[in-house]
C-alpha cells in the first residue's frame, strides 16, 4: 500500500512539475533525478528514500527562478511525503 502511494505521488510530481515548461529545465531535471534516485529506489529503507527526496525538493524550492505555483506544488508534495513516512513509522 505504501509503495502504491509513493508511485501515485511520483506520477503527480512528474505531471505537475516536470511537464510544466514554465519550470526551469534544471529544476525539472533535478526533480526527476531525485524521484528516480531516491523515492523509487526500493532497495533503501522507506524513511531514507522519503527524506532524501524531500531534501532534493527543498533545494528546488530555493531556486530563485521557479514560478510560485510550482513552489507551492513542491511544498504540497513535501507535506504528502512527510505524511506517508509518519504513517509508516506509526505502523512500524
* Residue 91 in this model has a pLDDT that exceeds 80: no
28: domain CATH number is 1.20.1440.50
- Helix pair angle (46-61, 68-91), 10° resolution: 160
Cα angle: 1, vertex 58, 64; to 5 degrees: 140
Q: Could you give the number of structural domains in the chain? A: 1
Residue 35: give the domain boundaries: 2-91
pTM here is: 0.92
* Calpha distance 80→54 (Å, rounded): 10
Note the pLDDT of residue 92: 63
Amino acid at each position: 500500500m505504501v509503495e502504491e502511494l509513493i508511485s501515485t505521488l511520483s506520477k503527480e510530481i512528474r505531471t505537475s512539475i516536470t511537464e510544466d515548461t514554465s519550470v526551469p529545465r534544471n529544476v525539472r531535471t533535478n526533480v526527476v533525478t531525485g524521484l528516480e534516485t531516491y523515492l523509487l529506489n526500493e532497495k533503501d529503507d522507506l524513511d531514507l528514500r522519503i527524506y532524501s527526496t524531500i531534501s532534493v525538493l527543498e533545494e528546488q524550492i530555493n531556486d530563485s527562478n521557479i514560478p510560485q505555483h510550482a513552489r507551492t506544488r513542491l511544498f504540497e508534495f513535501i507535506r504528502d511525503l512527510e505524511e506517508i513516512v509518519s504513517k509508516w513509522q506509526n505502523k512500524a
